[in-house]
C-alpha cells in the first residue's frame, strides 16, 4: 500500500493519478473533505481507500497498522501563504509532519514530503543551505521548521526520505485553491469571462508583470516524487523547480497566444503583500541533478499549453 496525504488536494491528486498511470492502485488517500468540492480531484483516480485526516492522525498516534506500506507521500498541508494564524499553521504543517516522520521511522516506511520554496523568502539565492533561508510568512516558516527538524535528525534516520522544496507549481486539479491557485489558472478564468489578463504593476525593482518565478508544471513535480521512490537516492532536501525563472508576462502572453485575443492590464500592487512577496525565485537544481535526476522540465509556454488543453477537455 501507498499512503498519500493531501490526496484530494492539488499536488496529492496529481500524484495519485501519476501512481495510477504507473500501475499503482493500492493507495490510501488521506484528506479533509470539509470542502466537498475537492472530490472532483480524485473522482477519476483509482484508490483502495479514503480516510479523513483527523481519523488518520488519531490512528497514527495510536500506532495503528495499515498493513504493509511501501511509502508515505506527505503532501497534506495548509499552503495559504497569506494565512497568519501561526498556531493553526504549526499544527497542520509542522506537528503533522513530525508525527508522520516518526511513524515512518518506527515502521520502516520510506517518507517523501512537501517542503516549499517559501523557505527562501527574500533571498536572492535559492540553494538548499541554511544561509539562504529567510521566510517572509508563517507558512514559509512552518515549512522551514520541519526542514530544520529533519536535518538535525538525519543521522538517526535509516529509512529512505526526501524533502521537496516545490517552487511555483501550476496545472490540473488546482481549481479548489481559490486565491492560492496559480496565476495561469486565474488569468485563464479572466479570459473566459471576456476580460483581459491582469497582472500586478512593478515591485521590488521589477517592471510591470516582470516579477519572475520558477514556474513548474505539476506533472514534472509528480515525476520527481515517483523517481525518488523508485530510485531511493541520497536522503536530503531538494529544490524542485525548472531552474529557469520566467516572468508573469510570459504566462500572460502564452495564454493570449492560446486564446487568440487579449491584452495585459496592470493593476496596483496590493499593500498587504508589500514586504512579504517573492518577486523573484529561481531554483538551483544542482543537488537534484547530482543524484541522477535527468528529466527535462517543461517551459512556461509548453506547460501552459498542456494545462489549457487539459482544462478545455474537462466539462
Tell me: the pLDDT tens digits for 143-176?
999 999 999 999 999 999 999 999 999 999 999 9
> Residue 184's pLDDT is what?
96
Among candidate residues 67, 22, 68, the one with its CA nearest the CA of residue 45: 22
**Pairing between β-strand 71-74 and β-strand 2-5 as defined by DSSP bridges:** parallel
Among candidate residues 159, 158, 28, 153, the one with its CA nearest the CA of residue 98: 153
Q: Are residues 72 and 186 in the same domain?
A: no
Q: Are residues 135 and 200 in the same domain?
A: no
Among candidate residues 305, 186, 195, the one with its CA nearest the CA of residue 257: 305
Q: Are residues 181 and 308 in the same domain?
A: yes
Q: Are 169 and 114 in contact (CB under 8 A)?
A: no
Q: Are residues 18 and 53 in the same domain?
A: yes
Q: Are residues 80 and 192 in the same domain?
A: no
Number of compact structural domains in the chain: 2
Q: Are residues 55 and 81 in the same domain?
A: yes
Q: Are residues 50 and 104 in the same domain?
A: yes
Give the pTM: 0.94
> Residue 88's pLDDT is what?
86
Tell me: the pLDDT tens digits for 234-275?
999 999 999 999 999 999 999 999 999 999 999 999 888 887
3-class state of residue 62 by DSSP: coil
Confidence class for position 314, pLDDT limits 50, 70, 90: confident
* Burial degree of 177 (CB within 10 A; 0-12, 13-18, 19+): middle
Q: Which residue segment(s) compose the domain that 95 sits in? A: 2-170+217-243+283-298
Report how far residue 89's alpha carbon sits from residue 78's, in angstroms, rounded to the nearest whole number: 7
Q: Using only C-alpha atoms, what is the Rg of the chain?
A: 19
Q: What's the average model confidence in pLDDT over 47-51?
A: 98
Alpha-helical regions (H) of the chain: 10-21, 53-61, 86-89, 96-107, 138-152, 183-192, 218-231, 248-259, 286-290, 300-312
> Active-site residues: which are they?
139, 177
Q: Taking all residues of the chain, what is their mean pLDDT, rounded to a whole number?
A: 94
| Distance in Å from the first CA to the final CA of the chain | 32
Q: Are residues 27 and 116 in the same domain?
A: yes
Position 315 pLDDT exceeds 70:
no
Tell me: the pLDDT tens digits for 217-241?
999 999 999 999 999 999 999 999 9
Q: Are residues 275 and 287 in the same domain?
A: no
- DSSP bridge partners of 217: 170
Amino acid at each position: 500500500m501507498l499512503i498519500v496525504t493531501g490526496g484530494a488536494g492539488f499536488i496529492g491528486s496529481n500524484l495519485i493519478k501519476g501512481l495510477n498511470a504507473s500501475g499503482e492502485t493500492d493507495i490510501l488517500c488521506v484528506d479533509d473533505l470539509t470542502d466537498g468540492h475537492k472530490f472532483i480531484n480524485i473522482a477519476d483516480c483509482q484508490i483502495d481507500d479514503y480516510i479523513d485526516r483527523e481519523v488518520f492522525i488519531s490512528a497514527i498516534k495510536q500506532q495503528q497498522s495499515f498493513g504493509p506500506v511501501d511509502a508515505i507521500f506527505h503532501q497534506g498541508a495548509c499552503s495559504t501563504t497569506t494565512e497568519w494564524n501561526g498556531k493553526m499553521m504549526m499544527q497542520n504543517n509542522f506537528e503533522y509532519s513530525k508525527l508522520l516522520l516518526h511513524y515512518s521511522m518506527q515502521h520502516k516506511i520510506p517518507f517523501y514530503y512537501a517542503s516549499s520554496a517559501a523557505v527562501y523568502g527574500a533571498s536572492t539565492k535559492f540553494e538548499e543551505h541554511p544561509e539562504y533561508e529567510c521566510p517572509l510568512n508563517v507558512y514559509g516558516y512552518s515549512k522551514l521548521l520541519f526542514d530544520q527538524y529533519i536535518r538535525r535528525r538525519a543521522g538517526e534516520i535509516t529509512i529512505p526520505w526526501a524533502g521537496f522544496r516545490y517552487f511555483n507549481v501550476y496545472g490540473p486539479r488546482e481549481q479548489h485553491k481559490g486565491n492560492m491557485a496559480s496565476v495561469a489558472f486565474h488569468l485563464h478564468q479572466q479570459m473566459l469571462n471576456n476580460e483581459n489578463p491582469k497582472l500586478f504593476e512593478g515591485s521590488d525593482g521589477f517592471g510591470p508583470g516582470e516579477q519572475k518565478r520558477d514556474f513548474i508544471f505539476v506533472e514534472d513535480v509528480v515525476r520527481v516524487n515517483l523517481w525518488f521512490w523508485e530510485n531511493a537516492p541520497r536522503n536530503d532536501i531538494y529544490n524542485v523547480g525548472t531552474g529557469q525563472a520566467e516572468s508573469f508576462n510570459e504566462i500572460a502572453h502564452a495564454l493570449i497566444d492560446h486564446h487568440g485575443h487579449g491584452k495585459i492590464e496592470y493593476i496596483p500592487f496590493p499593500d498587504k503583500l508589500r514586504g512579504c512577496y517573492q518577486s523573484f525565485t529561481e531554483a538551483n537544481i544542482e543537488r537534484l541533478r547530482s543524484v541522477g535526476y535527468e528529466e527535462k522540465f517543461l517551459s512556461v509556454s509548453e506547460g501552459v499549453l498542456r494545462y489549457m488543453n487539459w482544462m478545455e477537455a474537462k466539462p
